[in-house]
Structure 1
């Protein structure tokens, strides 16, 4: 039987090959429009997820799985071994011609030991990085190159770069950024815009085994297979940069961060304006009520309405957003601005989210005229 690291590498490779084949068939020589690119990413996610779940069930039938593309099963919390997978990290980049900064993540968490085996595949580069086999390449760069998210760079990163005399560049996929640091193409990867365990488990497993520093941005350890798999920030860097970067981050930050449930509610509210619900975690059976009337019967329906529903298109902004959390409930109160032509309207909204675990299961909205 193959070792866990060998299995992780094999699965990441096979999922990557599947994704390359699908991408080659769909992309061709003509760039896709935004909607088609997003749909390609979703199809790739689902296809790679199916492959990984089937292969894990066959190879390690007693192990649990935590996947971005599957409903969370609380039974994983009692299992000694949990595979944490992201079938397609960087689905936006995957749908864009010429982009190689997307990846497949496969990691194994074991109780009492953390991440014990991991693989990150970058199929468009023809590379697979495996814990215990990959080694970090040292950098002789005078000005540290700091990588951040394409879509959600930390607000403090420019000030941080000035503190350490570095430069800032953006890149897609957490796995792609982490492996760029491992290769010596960059010196640090800093993120503070919200992530999930599957975004970082495999990259961190590979990077730690290769000798890099990996932690939360406050220096505390990255913990996996938690009851709520929200893991909002991380720092992966050369070991000699860890102290100055952590010190700089501490100086530039200091405000409280969102709890996991508040972060999930915030993602939903932000999608009202952006019409991008790809990061909104909705249970399959999620329902929504608005002023007493049912306006959503499933997670897929609600997500589709957020992205394409005509009722959301006039929304131009969210203001005065406040959250209150108790137990598994989150209430958001905010003002919502809507604009149609020359006409504008502001309404006051109270939105209740029921979040018993890792997905929003119910949403109840009260919409009132703005006083």
Structure 2
């Protein structure tokens, strides 16, 4: 049967990462691997009531086929929040509701990529996006990240050298996996480069509202002058991932094509869920909910950073995120984080993380890993970091003995 599969599917195997996630799901392990929200923060009762009210107020129509673009009322609410929170002028007609941010990434790839087309991506970047892009068999160009996000000078050099690049993929707000924030100057310059070199930008921003401190930075889309930026986000990180409700913002010409692709993919997102999210927003203060969530995540981040400082060896460096879900840890060059995870961290410490090679197109950076702090309680975070630190100390000592 395998011979019947499309070659692009066979080329897109991530079996060892799937094995790592499967092992990390073992209840004996402390998993920092998944990018999970804290389920104790889900507004479960309010969402249950929202579903009940939405169905009661709209049946039988709610069970019928609905608009491909999605609920006009919910789209308007999203537009209003975007205007209020980012200053970005957007109409409900420029919004398409999707089944999570992941579908939005896939729709963008379908829209823009033929086999062999080129994409510029951050290095490292969200591995789920790479999995989606891989299905369209593109050529990748990695743009490294520093403490201020994607290095725009290197992006410019790359665009100049490779004129066939069609798309820039960026996670500007508390990036997955590094937690970095792209500066406003770099955002503006990115749009200028897109205009100059005739490319599109996919701005993936699910963590934008989970800011712990610092000033707000406008979205990349805010600086868009030629409808080159497709902005995507979702309710997965601020309400619940099970809702599978995301959205795309794009200009009129792009939106028309996206609607065709969405129709071909699934006809529409589930009307019942969209109505329930709309009802939730009508009856609850989502800004207060996000504030409460952010307060908890700030505390968890602080616990993780404090534990890293206390238990990790001094040879290790790490990011200090000002929002979002992740800390990025860099080991000495001699240590392979995947090998270390499989051979020592999982079996000895019963701790899991996401190794760096899965988050680079090139797979060449093997001495780093991603940690998630939002999904675990502070006590477990402390315990897991302590156990991980013990393994890292021993490993670095072994490396030093070999070198010395």
User: Is TM > 0.5 for Structure 1 vs Structure 2?
Assistant: no
TM-score by length of 1: 0.30
* TM-score, normalised via structure 2 length: 0.28
Q: Higher helix share goes to which structure?
A: 2
More strand by share: 1
